[in-house]
Amino acid sequence: MTRNRLFLIAVCLTILVAALRIFHILPPGAAPIGALALWAGVYCTNPGTAAVVLGAMLPLDLMDIAHGRYDLATMLAVYASTFLFILIGVAIARYAKGADGNKGRLTAIADGTILGSVAFYLITNAAVWTFAGWYPKTVQGFIACMAAGIPFFRNALAGNLAGAGIFFGLTAAASWTARHSAPCAARTSL
C-alpha cells in the first residue's frame, strides 16, 4: 500500500476516533486511541503520522486541563503512554514476521494491544496518584487509585481490542482489494 494511502487511512481513523471522544459516543476511556497509535506504529514510518494520532487527543485534553480536570503532569503521562503504543506497533512491524505468517502478526497485534492497555492503565493511574492530589500518598491511597481506574481500564481494553480489530481489518481489506482488483482501464464495459 502506498504512503499516501496509508496517510489518508490514518487521517480518516484519527477523525473517527476524535469524533468518538468529542461526542462521547463511547463510555469513558473506551475511545480506541491506543489501537490507533498501535496501528500508526505498525503501518506508518513517517513521524508526522504519530503527530496526527496524538493530535486527535489534544483538543479535549487541553479543555480538561483548562477546566482543572487534569494537571499537566498527568496529561504528559497520558501522552507518553499513548506514544508507548506507537513504539509497540513499531516493534510489531519489525519483529512479528514469524514462520506462521499473518497468524503470528495477528497474535502480536492482540498481545501489543493488551500490553499497551495494561501499561497505559498502570502509568496513568500512577500519575494520577502522584500528581493529581486526589488520593493520599499512602499504600491505601495508591490501591484506591488503582481500584478506581479499573472501570476505565476495562473500557480502554475493550475499545482498543475492538478498534485494533477494525483498524487492522480495514487496512488488510483495503490492501487485499488494491492487490486483487483490476485497473479501471483493463475492465471491459458491457
76 within a domain of the structure (yes/no): yes
**Alpha helix (H) ranges present in the chain?**
3-22, 33-43, 47-55, 58-66, 72-95, 102-127, 139-148, 150-180
Q: Report yes or no on 183 lying in a domain.
A: no
Indicate whether 21 pLDDT > 70.
Answer: no
Dihedral sign from CA coordinates of 141, 114, 159, 127: positive
Residue 185 lies in a domain: no
Give domain status of residue 20, yes or no: yes
Q: Structural domain tally of the chain?
A: 1
pLDDT of residue 40: 87
**pTM of the shown model:** 0.80
Query: Residue 119's pLDDT is what?
Result: 97
Distance in angstroms (rounded) separating the CA atoms of residues 66 and 11: 26
Residue 148 falls inside a structural domain:
yes
In a domain, 187, yes or no: no
Query: Tens digit of pLDDT for each residue in 55-108?
Result: 777 777 777 777 667 788 888 998 899 999 999 998 998 886 654 555 568 889
3-state SS class at 108: helix
Q: What is the pLDDT of residue 36?
A: 87
The neighbour count for residue 123, using CB atoms within 10 Å, is 16
Residue 130 sits in which domain range? 3-177
Give 6's pLDDT tier (boundaries 50, 70, 90). low
Residue 182 lies in a domain: no
d(CA 49, CA 4): 11
In this prediction, residues 169-176 reach a mean pLDDT of 79
Q: How far apart are the first and last CA of the chain?
A: 30
Could you tell me if residue 188 is inside a domain? no
